[in-house]
Chain A
Amino acid sequence: MNFVKRYLLPRLIIYFLVIFIGITTVFIIPRLLPTDPVLQTITRLRAQGAYMDPESTQRTIETLQELFGLKGSLSDQYVKFWQRLFKGDFGPSFFQFPTPVMTLIKQSLPWTAALLLTTTLVSWLLGNILGGFAGYFSSRRWGKILDYFAMVIRPMPYYILALGLLILFAYVFPIFPLGGGYTIGMRLTWSWNTFLTLLRHAFLPALSLLLIGIFVWFQAMKLVVQSVKTDDFVKYAEIGGIKSNKIARKYVIKNAMLPQITGLALSLGQIFSGALITEMVFSYPGLGTLLYNSIFTGDYNLLMGITAISILVVTTSILVIDLLYPLFDPRVRYK
């Protein structure tokens, strides 16, 4: 009972509050942008050579405003916005009118989710395992070698690393394709062949993300393990005759994992805003590019759609970790 009252309830309240404020901000900020989607559409029509007299221009503006959910006062728009949101509808995209925003997101999301979910989880796992061992056996040679690798790779700007990989493995040694998520003109079917093609295209983007990710986790974990290892309670465990592999697992690694678990939750949440640079360098489809384009074209229905989903996912993953945390850390348990 105490758990619900003192742990669960405050967190749930904050959870909903954050979502509410976040989504409201998402509603307001695009409306402060200097780009006017209605005017942009008209300009586009004009540029295509359509002639419109002032009267029909006015009518077009009104129709567009209604379609885009920009009609009426700001508060009217706001209420309508929430109504549509609960139905999972973010309206049509302004730029790729009249495709619904949800359809666009559904097209990009699988690419991003598959790429980033795998790389985030794999780099977290590998980075922590390697970092844990390198920290625990910090005098061993291989740990030091890994550390040097980390020191070289981590400070490298990501786009340089990504470009380097691309030039090396797609241009100099053309093992992997230069870009794209799949071969142009290919039909995506459920076959072994399709799977292999997808994997080949995803390999370089995944490798670039993994290299950076693994060494970021590696360095963090190594530092934490090294500091936990010199804590008094580890020394006491040694002179208390606790077996050394138990000390490594239950006294050092377990304690060092706590901040890493929080870190995982945060980076899982970030998946849904995509990886723009990866998508750009490898011309890989995904949410990042979609978001980027939506900003440039003033497509704020799409912008709101992506950010609203991102807010939901980030807050939810933090909430889930927060609720799981008492399992790992007895200090936050309520009895």
Chain B
Amino acid sequence: MKKLLEVQNLTKIYSMGSIFSRTKITAVEDISFTVGEPEIFTLAGESGCGKTTTAKIILGFEEQTSGAVMYKDEPIKNLRRGDRNKVLREIQAVFQNPFSTFNPLRTVDSYFYETLINLKIASNRKEAEKKIAEKLQAVGLSFEEFSQRYPSEFSGGQLQRLSIARALLTDPSLIIADEPVSMVDASLRMSIVNLFKDLKERYDVSVIYITHDLTTAYYISDRMAVMFRGNIVEMGPAEEVLSNPKHPYTRLLRESVPEPDPEKQWTTRVHLAESEHEEYLQTGCKFVARCPLAMEKCRKLTPPHFEVNGTSVKCFLYE
């Protein structure tokens, strides 16, 4: 499999608070992963684990503190400095909230036309129209129900489809989808998740799928990484990671998914963190306060990644 995107030792540190009490939060700590071509790669984890920050850095909305993002073996920063439009054409995004995707004061199609003309994908309106119709069809919408309408005239599900059509407009090689289904009705969730799978198979688009929902992650992803407090704690083929979780945190996550069986009582006891802040500042393994198998050295030393059955696990249990 060819490498499309490679994240190397990416770190992002935020400074918070006033001049008097500055605290530093390491939102992303030395993470590395690669996304192949085409592949659906999932970043999973609870809120505040750094998955969205990673996405923002890849998209160029945030500047990393250290590390690099390589796109087709070239640093993405250089690519952006050279030809910004080229990067925009290659990497697109779908965000969580479909209702804030489009400017409420402008018709949805104005955005589509402008993107096509500005990024020089279509040279005139006629050509653009053809392109738009094609992309709308890919997400199951028709051109007639789309043109000359404002965002408030669409439903949430329709808007999320439009948002995906919008991302497809530039024929990207990579789509970063940040919790694309968490605000969509359960009934529509599967159709949108299927859409991503479809895109990979039909158009060879790679997807970085960011989610906290392991069910959909299991369903669509080829490989996945589980993040915790800025670290990737476990990474490997999705099937292996989820059916045979190795890191205590992945196990906890796996057990927190309730099974649709009334006979089975949900007995998992979830230890909550004392405070998110403390976990961020924890030396050694960040999960140590909640880990049922914590050892003495976990408190002091940061565990390296160990290879177990094709997955890489950041835990001393596999030393």
- Say whether A associates with B: yes
- Chain B min CB distance to A83 (Å): 47
| B105 smallest CB distance to A (angstroms) | 6
| A185 interfacial contact with B, CB 8 Å | no
**C-alpha gap A255/B106 in the complex (Å):** 10
Q: Give the Cβ gap from B163 to chain A, nearest Cβ, in Å.
A: 8
Provide the residues of chain B in CB contact with A231, threshold 8 Å.
100
- Option from A239, A240, A246, A255 in Cβ contact (under 8 Å) with B104: A255
Give bound CA distance, A329 to B105, whole Å: 6
Interface residues on A, range: 20 to 34
A20 to chain B, nearest CB (A): 34
**Distance between B167 CB and nearest chain A CB, rounded to angstroms:** 9
Q: How many residues of B contact A (CB 8 A)?
A: 28
User: Given the complex of chains A and B, what is the CA–CA distance between A129 and B104 in angstroms?
Assistant: 22
Alpha-carbon separation in the docked complex, A233 to B106 (Å): 11
Fill in one digit per residue for A237-254: 1 if any B CB lies within 8 Å of its CB, else 0. 101111100100011001
Closest to A246 in B: B114
Picked from A240, A329, A330, the residue with its CB within 8 Å of the CB of B111 is A240
Flag whether A235 is at the interface (Cβ < 8 A).
yes
Given A239-B59, A240-B166, A232 and B118 touching (CB < 8 A)? no
Expressed in whole angstroms, the Cα–Cα distance for A251 and B92 within the complex equals 19
* Contact yes or no, A242 B150, CB < 8 A: no
Any chain A CB within 8 A of the CB of B119? Answer: yes
Known contacts being A233-B100, A329-B105, A331-B104, is A243 close to B152, with CB within 8 Å? no
**Residues of B74-104 whose CB lies within 8 A of A:** 85, 88, 91-93, 95, 97, 100-104
**Interface set, chain B 142-173, CB cutoff 8 A to A:** 150, 152, 163, 166, 169-170
Q: Quick one: which of A232, A240, A254, A255 has the most chain B CB within 10 A?
A: A240
Measured CB to CB, the closest approach of chain A to B303, in angstroms, equals: 36
A-B complex: 9 closest residue pairs judged by Cβ atoms: A232-B100, A240-B115, A241-B119, A241-B118, A330-B150, A233-B103, A331-B152, A241-B88, A232-B95
Task: Show the binding face of A for B, using Cβ within 8 Å.
Answer: 231-233, 235-237, 239-243, 246, 250-251, 254-255, 328-331
8 A-B residue contacts at CB 8 Å?
A: A233-B101, A235-B61, A239-B59, A240-B88, A255-B103, A329-B105, A331-B150, A331-B152
Having A232-B100, A241-B88, A330-B152, one finds 17 other A-B pairs with CB under 8 Å, namely: A231-B100, A232-B101, A233-B100, A233-B102, A235-B61, A236-B93, A240-B115, A240-B166, A241-B115, A241-B170, A250-B105, A250-B106, A255-B103, A255-B105, A328-B105, A330-B104, A331-B105
